[in-house]
Amino acid sequence: MHAPTSIHELSETHIPGSPLRWGCVKAHEGDRRAWLKGVPVCATLQTHRIAHAGLTVARAPYRVVRMNQSGVYFLASLEGEGRVLVDGRWRRCGEGQAVVLPPFVVNAFHAVDEAGWKFCWVRYERQEPGHRPLISSSAPQMAAFDGQPIWCAIEGLIAEARGAAQPAGMFHWTELIQGYVERFVQPWREDDRLSRLWEKVAADVGHDWTLDELAAMAFVSTEHLRRLCRKALGRTPMHHVTWLRMRKAAELLSTTHLKVETVSTAVGYQNPFVFSNTFKKWIGWRPSEHRSRSGTGGL
């Protein structure tokens, strides 16, 4: 089976193939999804709202697609290479790289050959209101990162959870894992002005935001706001407003039974046709297709 080359081919998928190595630890005994059967439990993960963490040495045709990812997903690549969907494009993720994906974006990655792709991951639960988000940029990010330390920490936690399962030991392994993830996302958490701004915009995506209004809320000039956004997000302020609207639309389409026209209005589009075209441009398909593609498995 070929790996999808176009996002239009994507649908809920979990093809484990024949991994050379695989290990995982989960936060809740009640998480009984088939692929987590027999996985050791570490309730301490709940202190950082981590649903599960694991490590894999995968080879083709290994492939995972989650259309309705409700929490942040972190992946660090140590050896070999895979492909990860970032902002609608397949990006190479090789040795010494990591990626973090915000909630309610399509999470898709696959191995490219049989040589083996070594990576580890941390999957977070849905962000609750009032909690500081792990990553404030609300956009996927890929950058250089040494994944060996976090691999060792996850490996240590799995061994402890399978063995003595001492609370003190599991606490320290969990803190190490969280610390390494926070080290990676730190560049996208540093500017509180942007963090507060996008929190306000995300809370009211239906508002008719203007560049002048955004700059005033961040207490900077419009030109400085453009520079800050280009540096932190790789896009203009108004493009990021559009991204937040499409992310919210994807969430509503995945988690409610609202009509497309209602979702369109809720995210600031009075014309459903314009909304549909914009959604397709950013997400890859039309809103009406999003529900049929979304599944309930969840990473």
Give CA–CA dist 19/23, Å, rounded. 10
Residues 161 and 204 in one domain: no
Last residue of a domain, one of 188, 209, 227: 188
Residue 21: phi, psi to the nearest 5? Answer: -160, 145
> Can you give the pLDDT at residue 96?
96
Give CA–CA dist 82/105, Å, rounded. 19
> Can you give the pLDDT at residue 185?
87
In this structure, is residue 1 part of a structural domain? no
Q: In which domain, by residue range, is 148 found?
A: 7-188
Last residue of a domain, one of 161, 188, 215: 188
> Can you give the pLDDT at residue 126?
82
3-state secondary structure string across the chain: CCCCCCHHHCCCEEECCCCCEEEEEECCCCCCCHHHCCCCECHHHHHHCEEEEEEEEECCCCEEEECCCCCCEEEEEEECEEEEEECCEEEEEECCEEEEECCCCCEEEEECCCCCEEEEEEEECCCCCCCCCCCCCCCCEEEECCCHHHHHHHHHHHHHHHCCCCHHHHHHHHHHHHHHHHHHHHHHCCCHHHHHHHHHHHHCCCCCCCHHHHHHHHCCCHHHHHHHHHHHHCCCHHHHHHHHHHHHHHHHHHHCCCCHHHHHHHCCCCCHHHHHHHHHHHHCCCHHHHHHHCCCCCC
In this structure, is residue 78 part of a structural domain? yes
> Can you give the pLDDT at residue 298?
44
> Can you give the pLDDT at residue 26?
94
Q: Which residues of the chain have pLDDT under 50?
A: 1-5, 7, 296-298
Place of tokens 């580890």: 120
Residues 43 and 180 in one domain: yes
Quote the number of domains for the chain: 2
Cis peptide before 167 (omega within 30 of 0): no
Residues 145 and 258 in one domain: no
Last residue of a domain, one of 166, 188, 210: 188
CATH number of residue 209's parent domain: 1.10.10.60
Residues 125 and 250 in one domain: no
pTM tops 0.85:
no
In this structure, is residue 298 part of a structural domain? no
Of 173, 144, 186, the C-alpha closest to 55 is 173
Torsion of CA 17, 23, 29, 34, to 10 degrees: 10
> Can you give the pLDDT at residue 238?
96
Residues 36 and 113 in one domain: yes
In this structure, is residue 74 part of a structural domain? yes
Residues 20 and 129 in one domain: yes
Q: b/e for 226-236, b at 16 or more Cβ within 10 A?
A: bebbeebbebe
Residues 21 and 106 in one domain: yes
CATH number of residue 23's parent domain: 2.60.120.280
Residues 162 and 241 in one domain: no
In this structure, is residue 129 part of a structural domain? yes
